[in-house]
Amino acid sequence: MRGKAQLWGYGEVCTPEFEHLELFTMRSGEGIIQEMYAFEDKGGRQLALRPELTAAVLRMYVNEGRTLPKPLRWFYFADCFRYERPQKGRYRQFWQFGVELIGADTAAADAEVILLAHDLLSSAGLTFEMQVGHLAPMRHLLSGLDEHSQRAAMAYLDKRDFDGLAAHLADAGQDALLQNLRALVAARSLDELTVVCGDIPETERIRAVVGILEGSGISYTLNFGIARGLDYYTGTVFEAFAENLGAENQVLGGGAYRLAHLFGGDDVGSCGFAIGFDRVMVALGNSEQQRGTVVALLFTPEVQARAFEIARTLRDAGITVEINLQDRGIGAQLKHAGRSADFAVILGPREYEAGLVTLRDLRTGEQHECTLEETVDGVKGRDARR
């Protein structure tokens, strides 16, 4: 994922594990506040372990990055903390791989971030469904509600809890909205969207994003029922869902937002997402760690110094070397090497005198004396044939 993000021009950033609590309470929404690990430090400051990085990265932008040429393309791979009930795919400490594109408020910027998200998940080998939406149609339908009530309705929509939504709308005297909201959530094309909420100013932007996504050929579905759990989003929003994860199948969430002005910066438009890295790993299932060819370096005590030199030469040539560290004979060393290595390089007094080593292929049992250059060629030749 790091390599892919760099190919798109994104550079890695780091922020502290904890921040002032206020950074997250300002705009992230009720849900996240309840889930935070908040504490007071010895100086009486209210702090929180970061539940996510967007607010922290935008604080960093305001403090350190305001004069840099925009847009800024940043990514991070970091652990986050949320006080939730742990279950499969939901942890109190988990990892996010995320990106923030700061200072470009265009359809092209929204599309770039969605395409990058798609590229990262695909390159991880994941089977997933990408859903793309925009908050404007939902907010347009809910515009008769006050802000608090609107947020509550969006929280129900975010959880696809239509019973809760129906009760909430009834309390607010807006029962009639339910049918339209259901139709909005079911809309899968721009035409269906227009039927539900007419032509709103944001349609142009939505059409432009969809145009770029269509041109790129990625597979995705439109979903105008995406509300997102965090409160700072302003426009395009998107989520991705993976197979075989059960209830916690959302592996990615993101969208366009404005946060910098809350932290004393300019009101820049930004767009980003975070991938739930642990969920990606669970979805991919157990995979053997790829391990290259390993050489075990065995030796008799009197030639130890030369053995360490040989180990360095082989590592300089890019070969993985595990040198013997135990006080035991060559026979015992060989037996151990047979369990952990592909080749043994053996150095005894005879080889030392001749300026050679014995190279033994541990799989076939073949062995011969050779120079260090021949050893490198022999090991790498096998590597190349793999």
Q: Does 126 bind ligand HAM (CB under 6 A)?
A: no
CA distances from 224 to 135, 221, 257, 335 (A): 7, 10, 17, 63
- Minimum distance, C-beta of residue 187 to ligand HAM, in the bound complex (Å): 22
Measured from the Cβ of residue 116, the count of other Cβ atoms closer than 10 Å reads 23
- Minimum distance, C-beta of residue 246 to ligand HAM, in the bound complex (Å): 13
- Report d(CA 230, CA 253) in Å as an integer: 10
Q: Does 31 bind ligand HAM (CB under 6 A)?
A: no
- Minimum distance, C-beta of residue 109 to ligand HAM, in the bound complex (Å): 12
DSSP-based three-state secondary structure for 326? coil
What are the two backbone dihedrals, phi and then psi, of residue 58, each rounded to the nearest 5 degrees?
-70, -35
- Report d(CA 36, CA 47) in Å as an integer: 10
- Minimum distance, C-beta of residue 62 to ligand HAM, in the bound complex (Å): 16
Residue nearest to ligand HAM (CB): 276
Q: Does 37 bind ligand HAM (CB under 6 A)?
A: no
Amino acid at residue number 255: G
Q: Does 76 bind ligand HAM (CB under 6 A)?
A: no
User: Segment near ligand HAM (CB under 6 A), from 154-162, 195-203, 274-282, 321-329?
Assistant: 274-282
Binding ligand HAM by CB under 6 A: which of 245, 276, 347, 359?
A: 276
Binding ligand HAM by CB under 6 A: which of 29, 50, 73, 100?
A: 100
Can you read off the two tokens belonging to residue 305? 């110094």
DSSP-based three-state secondary structure for 50? coil
Binding ligand HAM by CB under 6 A: which of 82, 168, 205, 360?
A: 82
Binding ligand HAM by CB under 6 A: which of 106, 180, 250, 293?
A: 250
Closer residue to ligand HAM, CB minimum distance, 90 or 380: 90
Q: Does 84 bind ligand HAM (CB under 6 A)?
A: yes
- Minimum distance, C-beta of residue 277 to ligand HAM, in the bound complex (Å): 8
Taking CB under 6 A as the criterion, which residues in 193-222 touch ligand HAM? none
Closer residue to ligand HAM, CB minimum distance, 230 or 341: 230
| Residue-wise burial string across 321-360, b where 16 or more C-beta atoms lie within 10 A, e elsewhere | bebbeeeeebeebbebbeeebbbbbbbeeebbeeebbbbb
- Report d(CA 29, CA 35) in Å as an integer: 11
Q: Does 29 bind ligand HAM (CB under 6 A)?
A: no
Can you read off the two tokens belonging to residue 350? 């005879």
Q: Does 112 bind ligand HAM (CB under 6 A)?
A: no
**Which residues, including other chains, have CB under 8 Å from residue 93's CB and lie 6 or more apart?**
79, 80, 81
DSSP-based three-state secondary structure for 255? strand
Prior bond to 71 cis, omega within 30?
A: yes
Applying CB under 6 A, which residues contact ligand HAM?
52, 54, 82, 84, 89-91, 94, 96, 98, 100, 229-230, 250-255, 257, 272-274, 276, 278-279
